[in-house]
Amino acid sequence: MLIGELAKQAGCETGTIRYYEQEGLLEKTARSESGYRRYTARHLGQLNFVLHCRSLGMTLTEIRALKDLQTDTTTSCAGISAMIDLQIERIHRQIETMHALEAQLTALRDCCRENVPASECGILKSLLDAAEGGESAIERKAGEKKRR
């Protein structure tokens, strides 16, 4: 199968496949006489593995490490689960940050009574206040909610 077909089956761009090969995440393929890459089901499996890991938020470096662990039968899988633990912890922190962010943005949104000129906008004022180090409208709002 040619690269276009593989890309279609895996649901990614041909450029991504070439990039993964270049980065050592996919085995080098056989080539046709004219230099076209020839892929097999084995490559589709490898590609899906990488894409799936990417969708779980792993970096290419981590995926490479995981790939190396697959072939290295001497190590126990403690390393693998440690890596997953790391991912989970990272996601946890990200979620927390996102929630805080959401609260801040929502408070910020509530500062605005549209249809006033931008110079009067509560959002802008709040952002500017925050920059000055004073307690901004956001923080006041967030504080109120907490205190309740």
Binding site for a copy of itself (CB under 8 A): 45-49, 52-53, 56-57, 66, 69-70, 72-81, 84-85, 87-88, 91-92, 94-95, 98-99, 101-102, 104-106, 108-109, 112, 114-124, 127-128, 130-133
Whichever of 23 and 120 has its CB closer to a copy of itself, that residue is: 120
Residue pair 39/4 in contact (Cβ under 8 Å)? The answer is: no
Stated as kind and residue range, the H or E segment containing 145 is helix 137-147
Nearer to a copy of itself, 12 or 53 (CB): 53
33 binds, among a copy of itself, DNA, none (CB under 5 to 8 A by kind): DNA
DSSP category for residue 34: T
* Smaller CB separation from a copy of itself, 13 or 96: 96
Nearest CA to 50 out of 72, 71, 28, 65 is that of: 65
Angle CA 42–56–103, to nearest 5: 165
| Binds 40: which of a copy of itself, DNA, none (CB < 5-8 Å by kind) | none
Nearer to a copy of itself, 30 or 82 (CB): 82
Looking from the CA of 67 toward its CB, the CA atoms found within 13 Å total 23
